[in-house]
């Protein structure tokens, strides 16, 4: 199989196109449903109606993005107090029609589904009818306000259960219970207490609850980027990115592994979906990895690491990245800038391990792309890069992220007509617009439900209480506070999706780091990266499990291999918060420092990642023995995370003398041991 044998990289077409065995396809579908929920599939009039509904929702959000801006200055603007409820109401209606109440009821719409969908529209109509003064009654809502608010909360929790599972609704109910009964709890958890009327009014009649920051981001950036990604996929951009990667790496040493890394970056950047990237690349790359000598679990681990990279790779990153910009009130371009060096270090670490794989597995230097050349592919389909690059260019020139992705989407549609085989014809356009909305349903519901958590937190002051508790347990130690925060985010991430994990921990864990002097942007990036790691952490390690379904490997062994390849993503975030120069990895000049400090910390971290790669792969010049592996680990940790090592040694009342010099000495000793050790004798067969 070659990259050019594929016709598209739309995940639905991958699953339905016969490229996977039937049992493998079912396993992958189950894993995708675990992340995105089980969905109905309809044909006939109902299918056409739902497609038209979804297309209209996408067009509505595109209109909202452009209205009032040149050259659409005359178009009426949809104000915030209208757009956010419209977004939630329409999304809820679609969820009730597309996500069954139970898997046993798939592919049919029940009376309850219709009632819930119509009730969602009814709630939307009520809110819009009240006008901009609706929020003035939030402290003392009318009886009808209260009943409609209760209905909205119930509908929202049920929609989230259908699309994302039970965990998020249950957590939201716990927070609601805390708001209502927290006054009965002992210190430091207690608060003044709130009536249910006051709570409901705060949650849905203000912009601090359900219709707050999270829905603001969902109704603008997230859905627009999802539409943009769908347009790229249906215009063949995904196929081009994979073909380009395989052509660029074809015929080179360990070409298969390198191609996986490059294609995961190019394909994942605009999609922002870990599982989708893993499955799409895995169907093409696994046969090639197998030929290169990769065993099943290692191949699956590499594919899953590529999928994780999709969530942390600019320009889209994951949905949570848009929330960072909104929470911190900074430009999304700033978030992209902060993610640049960590992304480079992440893929650098994977590439180092891939090069070590070449020595371990062989690689064979096989030609991966047999049809066409790198120049030929680029010359024919170069325009797919244009829309991707345009997002960054437009934001650099001062355009808002919303308008930037709007014009990038228009550009992607226009340039698709440069070739007949990529043209976004009306049928493709309709499918892209429909998928732009259906692809965001579970995230949008999660964002709206997360608004309940955020609303309760702001109403009760829980964030500062939780920060004091974390700092108290850590006894004011920054390293321990970071470790506790990482553990909290990791545990939360085991139960809920990345976006929900980030939102919850941004309001309860990040304040502890900020209170100890960590810059707010560094604290939020720390939370973001550890929320992302739930993608490769059991029991919700969906990317490794999907990769294992493709390779036939063990899900948990594949997960352990994925941890090995994703090692930089686990370690680098600690540098943001624990090292005085760590913010240099976010592209920020440390206080009293210079750009040279950014170069220094980046080079030091890269060196540590290389040494840790030697340790985790168990080889450099030769297969490592236990002592050499330990030396590589110690040297790598001293370079990547001297603050943690220093904190541990301080507990033992030992002061480290020049950690950097010690790291260099340990690395030289380990490399020297391998250099001087004779190569194992080659066995010869007797004739």
Using CA atoms, how far apart are residues 256 and 245, in angstroms rounded to an integer?
10
Peptide bond into 71 cis (omega under 30): yes
Question: What pLDDT does 491 receive?
Answer: 80
CA distances from 118 to 152, 442, 550 (A): 12, 19, 40
Question: What pLDDT does 10 receive?
Answer: 45
Q: Which range among 78-82, 154-158, 272-276 shows the weakest confidence by mean pLDDT?
A: 272-276
What integer is the mean pLDDT of 675-682? 69
Query: In which band, very low, low, confident or very high, does the pLDDT at 375 lie, cut at 50, 70 and 90?
Result: confident
| Residue listed under structure tokens 């002051």 | 461
- Alpha helix positions (H), 292-363: 296-312, 319-328, 332-361
Query: In which band, very low, low, confident or very high, does the pLDDT at 219 lie, cut at 50, 70 and 90?
Result: very high
Query: In which band, very low, low, confident or very high, does the pLDDT at 670 lie, cut at 50, 70 and 90?
Result: confident
Of the candidates 268, 314, 326, 340, the residue with the CA atom closest to the CA atom of residue 503? 326
Residues 452, 210 contacting (CB under 8 angstroms): yes
Dihedral sign for Cα atoms in the order 132, 138, 139, 140: positive
**CA end-to-end distance (rounded Å), the chain:** 38
3-state SS string for 494-548: HHCCHHHHHHHHHHHCHHHHHHCCCCHHHHHHHHHHHHHHHHHCCCCCHHHHHHH
Of the candidates 634, 649, 209, the residue with the CA atom closest to the CA atom of residue 458? 209
Instruction: Count helices and strands (H / E) in the chain.
Output: 33, 0
What integer is the mean pLDDT of 96-121? 90
Residues 242, 87 contacting (CB under 8 angstroms): no
Question: What pLDDT does 5 receive?
Answer: 33
What integer is the mean pLDDT of 299-311? 84
Could you please report the per-residue DSSP string of 138-185? SSS--HHHHHHHHHHHHHHHHHHHHHH-SHHHHHHHHHHHHHHHGGGS
Rg over alpha carbons for the chain, rounded to the nearest Å, is 26
HSE-up of residue 446 (Cα within 13 Å, Cβ side): 27
Q: Which range among 207-216, 293-302, 368-377, 660-669 shows the weakest confidence by mean pLDDT?
A: 368-377
| Long-range interactions of 468-473: CB distance < 8 A, separation 24+ | 468/188, 468/512, 468/515, 469/188, 470/509, 470/512, 471/512, 471/515, 471/516
Decide if pLDDT at 317 tops 80: no
Using CA atoms, how far apart are residues 416 and 231, in angstroms rounded to an integer?
9
Domain residue ranges of the chain, discontinuous segments joined by +: 3-14+215-441, 36-206, 591-677
Give the model confidence (pLDDT) of 537-560 as tens digits. 766 677 788 888 888 888 888 888
Q: Any idea of the CA torsion for 203, 204, 205, 209, to the nearest 10 degrees?
A: 50
Dihedral sign for Cα atoms in the order 640, 643, 646, 651: negative
Query: In which band, very low, low, confident or very high, does the pLDDT at 55 lie, cut at 50, 70 and 90?
Result: very high
Question: What pLDDT does 421 receive?
Answer: 87
Query: In which band, very low, low, confident or very high, does the pLDDT at 416 lie, cut at 50, 70 and 90?
Result: very high
Using CA atoms, how far apart are residues 621 and 675, in angstroms rounded to an integer?
7
Residues 54, 437 contacting (CB under 8 angstroms): yes
Of the candidates 630, 638, 637, the residue with the CA atom closest to the CA atom of residue 670? 630
Query: In which band, very low, low, confident or very high, does the pLDDT at 61 lie, cut at 50, 70 and 90?
Result: very high
What integer is the mean pLDDT of 665-678? 84
What integer is the mean pLDDT of 564-589? 84
Decide if pLDDT at 275 tops 80: no
Q: Which range among 52-61, 105-114, 407-416 shows the weakest confidence by mean pLDDT?
A: 105-114
Question: What pLDDT does 496 receive?
Answer: 74
Give the model confidence (pLDDT) of 638-655 as tens digits. 888 776 566 555 555 556
Question: What pLDDT does 684 receive?
Answer: 47
Decide if pLDDT at 674 tops 50: yes
Q: Which helix (H) or strand (E) holds 239?
A: helix 237-249
What integer is the mean pLDDT of 397-408? 90
Give the model confidence (pLDDT) of 458-513 as tens digits. 888 888 888 888 888 888 888 888 888 888 888 887 767 788 888 888 888 899 99
Give the model confidence (pLDDT) of 238-266 as tens digits. 788 878 877 777 656 567 778 888 887 87
Mapped onto helix, strand or coil, the DSSP state of residue 102 is coil
Q: Any idea of the CA torsion for 160, 162, 166, 168, to the nearest 10 degrees?
A: -10
What value, to the nearest 5°, has the Cα angle with vertex 365 and ends 670 and 341? 55
Decide if pLDDT at 310 tops 50: yes
Average pLDDT, the chain: 82
Structure tokens at 199: 């709570």
Question: What pLDDT does 157 receive?
Answer: 96
Query: In which band, very low, low, confident or very high, does the pLDDT at 19 lie, cut at 50, 70 and 90?
Result: low
Of the candidates 379, 377, 380, 385, the residue with the CA atom closest to the CA atom of residue 411? 385
What integer is the mean pLDDT of 53-62? 96
Decide if pLDDT at 167 tops 80: yes
| Residue listed under structure tokens 């939020």 | 524
Question: What pLDDT does 370 receive?
Answer: 47
């Amino acid at each position: 199989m070659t990259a050019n044998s594929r016709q598209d990289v739309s995940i639905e077409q991958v699953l339905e196109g016969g490229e996977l065995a039937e049992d493998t396809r079912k396993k992958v579908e189950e894993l995708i449903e675990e992340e995105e929920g089980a969905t109905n599939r309809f044909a006939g009039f109902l299918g056409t109606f739902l497609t038209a509904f979804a297309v209209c929702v996408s067009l509505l959000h595109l209109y909202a993005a452009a209205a009032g801006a040149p050259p659409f200055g005359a178009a009426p603007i949809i104000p915030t107090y209208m757009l956010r409820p419209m977004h939630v109401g329409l999304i809820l209606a679609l969820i009730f029609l597309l996500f069954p109440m139970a898997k046993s009821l798939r592919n049919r719409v029940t009376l309850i589904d219709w009632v819930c969908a119509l009730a969602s529209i009814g709630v939307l109509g009520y809110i819009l009818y009240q006008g901009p003064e609706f929020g003035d009654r939030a402290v003392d809502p009318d009886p009808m306000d209260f009943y409609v608010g209760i209905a909205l909360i119930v509908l929202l929790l049920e929609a989230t259960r259908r699309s994302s599972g039970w965990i998020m609704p249950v957590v939201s109910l716990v927070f609601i219970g805390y708001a209502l009964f927290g006054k009965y709890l002992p210190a430091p958890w207690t608060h003044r207490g709130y009536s249910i009327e006051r709570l409901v009014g705060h949650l849905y009649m203000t912009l601090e609850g359900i219709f707050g920051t999270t829905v603001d981001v969902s109704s603008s950036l997230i859905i627009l980027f999802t539409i943009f990604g769908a347009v790229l996929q249906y215009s063949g951009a995904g196929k081009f990115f994979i073909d380009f990667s395989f052509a660029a790496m074809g015929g080179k040493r360990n070409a298969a592994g390198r191609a996986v890394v490059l294609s995961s970056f190019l394909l994942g950047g605009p999609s922002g979906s870990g599982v989708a990237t893993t499955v799409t690349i895995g169907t093409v790359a696994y046969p090639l990895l197998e030929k290169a000598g990769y065993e099943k679990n290692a191949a699956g681990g590499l594919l899953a690491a590529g999928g994780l990279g999709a969530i942390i790779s600019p320009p889209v990153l994951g949905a949570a990245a848009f929330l960072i910009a909104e929470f911190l009130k900074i430009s999304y371009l700033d978030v992209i800038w902060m993610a640049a060096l960590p992304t480079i270090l992440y893929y650098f670490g994977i590439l180092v391990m891939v090069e070590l794989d070449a020595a371990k597995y062989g690689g064979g230097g096989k030609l991966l792309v047999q049809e066409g050349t790198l120049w030929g592919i680029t010359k024919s389909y170069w325009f797919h890069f244009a829309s991707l690059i345009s997002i960054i260019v437009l934001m650099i020139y001062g355009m808002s992220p919303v308008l930037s992705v709007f014009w990038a989407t228009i550009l992607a549609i226009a340039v698709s007509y440069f070739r007949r085989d990529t043209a976004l014809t009306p049928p493709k356009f309709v499918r892209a617009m429909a998928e732009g909305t259906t692809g965001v349903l579970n995230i949008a519901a999660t964002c709206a439900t997360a608004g309940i958590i955020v609303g309760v937190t702001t109403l009760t002051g829980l964030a500062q209480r939780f920060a004091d508790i974390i700092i108290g347990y850590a006894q004011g130690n920054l390293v321990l506070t970071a470790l506790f925060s990482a553990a909290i985010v990791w545990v939360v991430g085991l139960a809920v999706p990345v976006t929900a994990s980030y939102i919850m921990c941004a309001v309860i864990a990040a304040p502890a780091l900020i209170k100890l002097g960590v810059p707010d942007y560094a604290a939020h990036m720390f939370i973001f990266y550890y929320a992302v790691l739930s993608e490769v952490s059991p029991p919700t390690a969906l990317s490794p499990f999907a990769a294992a379904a493709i390779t036939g490997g063990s899900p948990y062994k594949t997960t352990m291999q994925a941890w090995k390849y994703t090692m930089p993503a686990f370690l680098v975030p600690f540098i943001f918060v624990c090292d005085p120069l760590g913010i240099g990895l976010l592209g920020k000049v440390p206080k009293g420092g210079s750009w040279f400090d950014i170069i220094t910390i980046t080079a030091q971290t890269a060196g540590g990642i290389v040494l840790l790669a030697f340790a985790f792969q168990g080889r450099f010049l030769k297969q490592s023995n236990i002592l050499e592996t330990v030396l590589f680990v110690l040297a790598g940790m001293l370079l990547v995370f001297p603050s943690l090592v220093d904190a541990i040694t301080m507990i033992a009342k030992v002061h480290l003398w020049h950690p950097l010099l010690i790291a260099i000495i340990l690395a030289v000793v380990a490399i020297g041991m391998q250099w001087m050790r004779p190569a194992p004798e080659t066995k010869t067969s007797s004739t």
